Amino acid sequence: MLVSYNWLRNYVNLDKITPEELAEKITRSGIEVEGIEYLAPKTENIVVGYVKSCEKHPDADKLNLCQVDVGEEALQIICGAPNVGQGQKVAVAKPGAKLPNGMKIKKVKLRGIESNGMICSLQELGLDEKYIPADVAEGIFVFPEDAEVGTPVQELLNLDDAILDLDVLANRPDALSMLGVAYEVAALLDQPIHLPDESLTVDQSIEAKDYIEVKIDSIENNPYYGAFIVRDVEIKPAPLWMRNYLMASGIRPINNVVDITNFVLLEYGQPLHAFDYDQFGSKQVLIRQANENETLVTLDDQERQLNEKNLVITNGEVPVALAGVMGGANSEVTDETTNILLEAAYFESASVRHTVKQTGLRSESSTRFEKGVDPNRVKRAGVRACMLLQKYANAKVASGVVEVDELDKSEKSVVITKAKVNQRLGMELDEKDIISVLTRLQFEFTQNGEEMIVEVPTRRRDISIFEDILEEVIRIHGYEHLPYTIPQGWVQAGGLTDIQRLQREIKNYLSSAGLMETLTYSLTNQKDAKRFLTPDIEKEPAYSVGLAMPMSEEHSHLRLSLIPEMLRVLQHNIARTQTDLAYYEIGKVFVSREESVTKQPIENLHVAGALTGLWHNHPWQQEKKSVDFYVAKGIVEGLFAHLELDVTFVQTRMEDMHPGRCAEIKLNGNGIGYVGQVHPLAAKDFDVKETYVFEINLEAIFSAHQQIPSFTDIPRYPSVTRDIAFILDNDVPAGNVQTVIKEIGAPLVKDVSIFDVYQGEHMEDGKKSVAYRLLYQDPSHTLKDDEVDASYHEIIEKVNSQFGSYVRS
């Protein structure tokens, strides 16, 4: 809402406060002033002049030679504007004046003839092009005849006005009107308010009911409709002061009738609509829901398809306006209009909202109806507009208003007590502090013992309960008076849950393992949303959840894996010559088991990693290591070791992963994730090079993880190591043998590690040698050779028979 400081002065005395100070006060008390703009920079030596004569320049077709009376002198001025003419009152920049655009006015000669000043257009005086009325947009501005010659144009054109841009939130529709802002400012400054003149003298010889009747078929959406009849209007420009205020408020003046309805809309916050009575087409206003497939050409010349959810004003037959949103072209006020049907109505916000949403049409009117207008100002706004029409359009206003009125105009009363106010605020206000606030806001109240019964004016629709009054009390009294306290009484030991702690632990581990945390979008494209699924998701049909109205295809579906967006992060960095990358992320994936979603998807927390380029690089020592499968797997193994969970890795095949370099991660026999190389073709899709990834469902880890590890005594007896190298068929996974060794060797074998793998020369075709180191230990005694030997031989024998292997000699 743009609020003209000069306009506001009509209602509240602002003599002691600058626009800047006022803006600060308004902001501090709840309505944010987003900016202050001065209409035009201060100008001097620009005054009203009277064009005494105007002739063609003898040597230039497009120039006019004017003699202009500016009061104490007459100036000869050459003017190029097409609309300049004898008898006009115009804005004259005298020599020495400086225009807002920086131009300095000097005496000059144009085609041999002296020009002692400049006749200005509104643009040249600093007004924004888009608010300038059409009739003067192409030339100089012409003042009304009563403008006094020699008067500085600054004040006449309201150019010194400051415009406050108020960010009015949904709770304060009252501030969408000058009167609403005036009430607010009056309260803040503790000043009285001067209400506008509503004294209307009607023409007793004409009665509105002879011209129109009103019928409402949809009273729930339109509880009040008032029709005023205004006859014999003289269409002309509105008075200059009104046009100035409209332009300052961001509305372009049109003619007196349209300008007056707009002026009252801004002044009262009540939208009005003027129909050309003679084009209305009947003597009946019928308000109803539109019929299916009915159409209306609105004022912007667009044909609107209507349906039964749109409330329309009709002439009993066809729609003439979209209620509360925009009028129809068929009954528009034009220069030929002489008789007017003026509508002052109350349309319910839900109905207007619906039409606005459906048509995308948003107007000054609809904005106010959507947020709610003051029921007690509807009719008054109509009266005020009639009064202005009478005054500025020489119109006759018919007596009486034809209305249907089922509008609830009652005021709400709210009971407060000083004790309750102080209890909720946590401070000690006196009763007089509270009374002072209510008085400043002009809220009536009565006292009944401890209780104060506050009558809330209907302009403040946002106030209906005790807490609302509480807010008024503290915002007007001032938040700076509130003390600083901390909640007393009940206490609990705050903290993280086990799962939250574990997440931090996993981040600690991965960060110290050399990975950088990323944060990517949950929304990805439809195709990528379903790639790189972990085995627990893959085992049943899984669907991605799509948005009803995505903003772009790139962010249309919720991810089922973190990997695609992480690959995109790799790509972003690679494109910026950052090639050695190791990333991890913890985030949710969204799994729907229904093809068309009806309920909330399962949200699982996942951890994922993506690595590419060099893992280690020390150039001058010629030490370089690229990321490979075992780097990625080592990180995963380290994670599970850190969490003290036993997992196994099983060779697997997955779409989008390298067929020979991918392992499923199993915890207690269930697949919970994978680690491996991205398939080169998938890597190409994402425009990345050789990349290794892992992704694990953390929910499985959370349920398996033991929060408090049990203590194991530190071994007191020495351990013994034994090495065995088995010659295995190439396709026997070394890890399987390792598992078997552990099983057979238990409980004496505490650990089995692989320290050498060999294939190639001196090795039979299709065979490999894998060397295992076994760690023997017994907590109760020092192991004897024969104990170890017995186990060692048993292991050799059983492994050989199970895997068809033999021991390398």
- Residues 20-59 binding another protein (CB under 8 A) are 27-30, 32
Q: If binding is defined by CB under 8 A, does position 416 make contact with another protein?
A: no
- The residues, any chain, with a CB within 8 Å of residue 304's CB and separated by 6 or more, are 295, 296, 297, 298, 322, 359, 361
Q: One symbol per residue from 364 to 393: x for binding another protein (CB under 8 A), - otherwise; what is it?
A: ------xxx---------------------
Helix H segments across 588-667? 629-642
Could you tell me which stretch among 404-412, 542-550, 697-705, 765-773 binds another protein (CB under 8 A)?
A: 542-550
Cα 314 to chain center, whole Å? 37
In 3D space, the residue among 607, 605, 606, 609 whose CA is nearest the CA of residue 514 turns out to be: 609
Q: If binding is defined by CB under 8 A, does position 170 make contact with another protein?
A: yes
Give whichever of 151 and 556 is closer to another protein, judged by the CB atom. Answer: 556
Give the gyration radius of the chain's Cα atoms: 42
Q: If binding is defined by CB under 8 A, does position 746 make contact with another protein?
A: no
Q: If binding is defined by CB under 8 A, does position 205 make contact with another protein?
A: no
- Least CB distance from residue 625 to another protein, whole Å? 10
Cα 45 to chain center, whole Å? 46
- Least CB distance from residue 314 to another protein, whole Å? 25
Give whichever of 474 and 737 is closer to another protein, judged by the CB atom. Answer: 474
Give whichever of 519 and 708 is closer to another protein, judged by the CB atom. Answer: 519
- Least CB distance from residue 631 to another protein, whole Å? 10
- Least CB distance from residue 547 to another protein, whole Å? 5
Q: If binding is defined by CB under 8 A, does position 429 make contact with another protein?
A: no
Identify the three-state secondary structure at position 371. Answer: helix
What part of residues 644-663 is at the interface with another protein (CB under 8 A)?
none
Q: One symbol per residue from 95 to 134: x for binding another protein (CB under 8 A), - otherwise; what is it?
A: ----------------------------------------
506's tokens: 């996993």
- Least CB distance from residue 420 to another protein, whole Å? 10
Which of 511, 706, 721, 782: binder of another protein (CB under 8 A)? 511
- Least CB distance from residue 694 to another protein, whole Å? 15
- Least CB distance from residue 484 to another protein, whole Å? 4
What part of residues 695-724 is at the interface with another protein (CB under 8 A)?
none
Identify the three-state secondary structure at position 474. Answer: helix
Say how far apart CA 120 and CA 125 lie, in whole Å.
7
Could you tell me which stretch among 208-216, 305-313, 579-587, 668-676 binds another protein (CB under 8 A)?
A: 579-587
What part of residues 321-350 is at the interface with another protein (CB under 8 A)?
349-350
What part of residues 612-651 is at the interface with another protein (CB under 8 A)?
615-618, 620-621, 623
Could you tell me which stretch among 305-313, 545-553, 636-644, 688-696 binds another protein (CB under 8 A)?
A: 545-553
Residue burial 508-528, b: 16+ Cβ < 10 Å; e: rest: ebbeebebeebebebbbbeeb
- Least CB distance from residue 173 to another protein, whole Å? 8
780's tokens: 């109760």
Give whichever of 194 and 624 is closer to another protein, judged by the CB atom. Answer: 624
- Angle, helices 364-371/256-268, rounded to nearest 10 degrees: 30
What part of residues 585-604 is at the interface with another protein (CB under 8 A)?
587-588, 590, 597-601, 603
Which of 573, 652, 736, 777: binder of another protein (CB under 8 A)? 573
Helix H segments across 643-784? 680-685, 698-704, 734-745
Mind giving me the DSSP string for 133-190?
-GGGTTS--EE-TTPPTT-BHHHHTTTT-EEEEEE--TT-GGGGSHHHHHHHHHHHHT
Could you tell me which stretch among 84-92, 222-230, 232-240, 565-573 binds another protein (CB under 8 A)?
A: 565-573
Give whichever of 219 and 427 is closer to another protein, judged by the CB atom. Answer: 427
- Least CB distance from residue 561 to another protein, whole Å? 16
- Least CB distance from residue 580 to another protein, whole Å? 9
In 3D space, the residue among 354, 384, 352, 379 whose CA is nearest the CA of residue 368 turns out to be: 352
Identify the three-state secondary structure at position 792. Answer: helix
Secondary structure, 3-state, 44-56: CCEEEEEEEEEEE
541's tokens: 């049909």
In 3D space, the residue among 649, 684, 691, 686 whose CA is nearest the CA of residue 667 turns out to be: 649
- Least CB distance from residue 516 to another protein, whole Å? 5
- Least CB distance from residue 482 to another protein, whole Å? 5
Give whichever of 548 and 681 is closer to another protein, judged by the CB atom. Answer: 548
Cβ atoms 132, 111 nearer than 8 A: no
Give whichever of 423 and 730 is closer to another protein, judged by the CB atom. Answer: 423
Say how far apart CA 634 and CA 345 lie, in whole Å.
74
Secondary structure, 3-state, 295-360: EEEECCCCEEECCCCCEEEECCCCEEEECCCEEEHHHCCCCCCCCEEEEEEECCHHHHHHHHHHHC
Give whichever of 500 and 721 is closer to another protein, judged by the CB atom. Answer: 500
Give whichever of 598 and 712 is closer to another protein, judged by the CB atom. Answer: 598
Identify the three-state secondary structure at position 393. Answer: coil
What part of residues 663-682 is at the interface with another protein (CB under 8 A)?
none
Which of 302, 413, 423, 446: binder of another protein (CB under 8 A)? 423
Give whichever of 494 and 709 is closer to another protein, judged by the CB atom. Answer: 494
Which of 25, 209, 236, 475: binder of another protein (CB under 8 A)? 475
Q: In a 10 Å sphere around its CB, with 0-12 CB exposed, 13-18 middle and 19+ buried, how is residue 421 labelled? A: buried
In Å, what is the CA distance from 418 to each residue of 188, 428, 469, 479, 483?
21, 9, 12, 17, 17
Give whichever of 514 and 660 is closer to another protein, judged by the CB atom. Answer: 514
Which of 112, 360, 483, 760: binder of another protein (CB under 8 A)? 483
Identify the three-state secondary structure at position 224. Answer: strand
Give whichever of 613 and 745 is closer to another protein, judged by the CB atom. Answer: 613
Which of 104, 106, 111, 424: binder of another protein (CB under 8 A)? 424
Q: If binding is defined by CB under 8 A, does position 539 make contact with another protein?
A: no
Give whichever of 423 and 739 is closer to another protein, judged by the CB atom. Answer: 423
Say how far apart CA 190 and CA 384 lie, in whole Å.
26
Q: Total residues contacting another protein (rule CB under 8 A)?
A: 97
516's tokens: 């950088």
**Phi, psi for 444 (deg, rounded to 5):** -75, 150
Give whichever of 4 and 612 is closer to another protein, judged by the CB atom. Answer: 612
Which H helix or E strand runs over 398?
Answer: strand 396-399
Say how far apart CA 162 and CA 152 lie, in whole Å.
18
Q: If binding is defined by CB under 8 A, does position 474 make contact with another protein?
A: yes
Q: If binding is defined by CB under 8 A, does position 507 make contact with another protein?
A: yes
- Least CB distance from residue 293 to another protein, whole Å? 25
